[in-house]
Amino acid sequence: MVKNIIVDDLSKLRIICGANDRNISYIEILMGIEILTKGNTLFVEDEDVTKLALFEALVKKLEMLIINENQVISESEIFMEYQSIINSPELIDSLSEVNLFEDYNVISVNNKTIFAKSFNQSRFIKMMNDNQITFAIGPAGTGKTFLAIAFALSQITSGEKQKIILTRPVVEAGENLGFLPGTLSEKLSPYVRPLYDAMEWMLPPSIINKLEANGAIEVAPLAYMRGRSLHNSIIILDEAQNTTIEQMKMFLTRIGENSKSIITGDITQIDLPRGHRSGLVHANDILRDINGMDFVEFTSKDVVRAKIVQKIIDAYAKDYSNGQ
């Protein structure tokens, strides 16, 4: 079996390979594999699927070590990162299953290719393909919203679906939509900005504007979903931890023929008034056994932002646990 690993940043790839591919030679000896490089891609062939996944994990860890273009990665650093991987039973268990998700590591949008950067991201992509309703729960920076938007765009640009509907709860941190200044579009703008940031990474503004003008992209407050039946659509509910139980039920029952719903949220960042239970938490408790619906739970290990974000999330999680 051949595994190909793409390193988007060529300067990082050069650092990983080392001078005259010295690090590649060391990794070949360390892992008992043969590695070929071409362009920005590393190729490795082996019958042991876990070994291939270990190599991919090592490359990703080495990428995270690089903070400037003049950096040098030593053999001792490679060995330490390799040891940290093989000494993690949880990671080894997940790596043994990686081959189950090989076909779900990529989303293509407008000639751009988005690669899953963690095991759970691959699971999320598979679930969105396989299910009518998918929940993605986890901390900030794990790629939940970005992958949901990428999947939705891939569905409409390929003709699988006709429309993307983006929605979020609009009562956060004490703000109420009705009391904010401006038109409805202006009021919604700060709430949906993260969704548009993701779209603009994949599509030029001119195409996004055209899709909006044609009605292929719609943004609406969650309250405006009541009474609708949504067909041939991808419906994304972001920041779902801030829905009430009633709102979540209303949203989930809007789905129509040939539609998919993707719900994302972080249950550690709930802004609902005291005494209101999160609809996302409630759904996670009662809906897991329904066919056609699935849940993926991200952790700090899936964070793909700056490495410090993972440490911040872990620190807050530890403090929260100590306070219980």
Domains of the chain: 2-95 (3.30.1370.10), 100-323 (3.40.50.300)
Q: Which helix (H) or strand (E) holds 193?
A: helix 184-202
* Identity of residue 14: R
Contacts (Cβ under 8 Å, ≥6 apart) of 26: 18, 75, 78
Q: What is the pTM of this model?
A: 0.68
Backbone angles phi, psi at 238, to 5 degrees: -100, 160
Q: Which parts of the chain register pLDDT below 50? A: 173-175, 179
Contacts (Cβ under 8 Å, ≥6 apart) of 259: 132, 161, 230, 231, 232, 233, 234, 235
Tokens 């410090």, residue located: 308
Predicted confidence at residue 245, as pLDDT, reads 96
Distance (Å, whole) CA 224 – CA 167: 9
* Sign of torsion over alpha carbons 11, 12, 18, 20: negative
Predicted confidence at residue 8, as pLDDT, reads 85
CB 87 within 8 A of CB 40: no
Predicted confidence at residue 196, as pLDDT, reads 85
Predicted confidence at residue 174, as pLDDT, reads 43
CB 240 within 8 A of CB 264: yes
Predicted confidence at residue 281, as pLDDT, reads 97
Geometric angle at alpha carbon 118, from 112 and 120, rounded to 5°: 110
Scored b (16 or more CB within 10 A) or e, 202-214 reads bbeeeebeebeee
Distances from the Cα of 91 to the Cα of 116, 119, 253, 313, angstroms: 16, 9, 37, 19
Predicted confidence at residue 223, as pLDDT, reads 82
- Other beta carbons within 10 angstroms of residue 224's beta carbon come to 13
- Torsion region of 311: left, alpha or beta (phi above 0 gives left; psi -120 to 50 gives alpha): alpha
Predicted confidence at residue 149, as pLDDT, reads 95
Predicted confidence at residue 217, as pLDDT, reads 93
Predicted confidence at residue 307, as pLDDT, reads 64
Q: Which of 100, 65, 94 is nearest to 82 (CA)?
A: 65
